Each structure stands twice: as structure tokens, then as C-alpha cells.
């Protein structure tokens, strides 16, 4: 069985990445609560049945602040995706901190120490 994502899955993932990026740039009201926050979307993974989407982010805030951000703004992001996507299902979105960036920094620091 092939584990590659289908063209439709890739297209939905790219659309979600674009929509969330635009949301983070245009709706800057979260800056009043988190004034120094910076986000970078590294990847979006959509399930094969298009019902779930994981958005992987890198951020410069604490994990508690990130959980609070998710609680406050995930519903807005979800409704934006629901209004914009033209698919049978709207994926249930979850924001996840991308650990791979932290791991690459650890490896780089180990290499620098050699």
C-alpha cells in the first residue's frame, strides 16, 4: 500500500497552510496578549480522509502561552478554514509545536562542540 499523500491531500494541506499564514499576518489582535510572539508554519499534515489536520509551528513563547494561544484562537482559525475550503469535510485543526527544529539545534550544538 502506498503511503504517499494524494494530490487532493497535498492541495488541502497547502490551502490550510496559506490560510493560517494569512490569518497570522492579517489578524494581529493576538499581539495585544502576546506582544513578542513570532510564528513560523513548518508543515501541515492532513489525514487521508481529510477530517483532521495538524499544523506544525515554531514559536518563541512558552508552552503554557502556546496552549493559551491555541485555546483562544484555534476556533477562529477553524472557522476561517471552514468558510474558505470547498471540500465535503472541514478538517479538525490542531496546532502542534514542531520538535524537529529543537532537535536539529541540539545536533548542531553537539557538532559545534566537536
Contact 78, 19 (CB under 8 A): no
Provide the H-helix boundaries in 2-89.
7-26, 63-84
Which domains are seen in the chain, by residue range?
A: 7-113 (3.30.300.20)
56, 64, 74, 94, 95 from 68: Cα distances, Å: 16, 6, 10, 13, 11
What average pLDDT score do residues 57-74 get?
A: 89
pLDDT at 1 over 60: no
Beta bridge partners of 97: 57
In angstroms, the CA 104 to CA 71 distance is: 28
Residue 105: the pLDDT is 73
Residue range 21-55, pLDDT digits in tens = 999 888 888 888 888 888 889 999 999 988 999 99
Write down the pTM of the prediction: 0.81
Residue 104: the pLDDT is 75
In angstroms, the CA 71 to CA 23 distance is: 16
Amino acid at each position: 500500500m502506498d503511503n504517499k499523500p494524494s494530490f487532493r491531500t497535498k492541495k488541502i494541506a497547502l490551502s490550510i497552510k496559506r490560510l493560517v499564514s494569512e490569518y497570522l499576518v492579517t489578524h494581529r489582535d493576538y499581539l495585544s496578549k502576546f506582544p513578542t510572539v513570532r510564528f513560523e508554519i513548518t508543515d501541515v499534515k492532513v489525514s487521508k480522509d481529510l477530517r483532521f489536520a495538524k499544523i506544525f509551528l515554531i514559536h518563541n513563547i512558552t508552552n503554557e502561552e502556546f496552549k493559551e494561544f491555541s485555546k483562544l484562537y484555534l476556533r477562529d482559525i477553524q472557522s476561517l478554514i471552514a468558510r474558505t475550503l470547498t471540500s465535503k469535510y472541514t478538517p479538525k485543526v490542531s496546532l502542534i509545536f514542531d520538535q524537529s527544529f529543537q532537535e536539529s539545534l541540539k545536533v548542531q550544538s553537539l557538532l559545534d562542540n566537536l
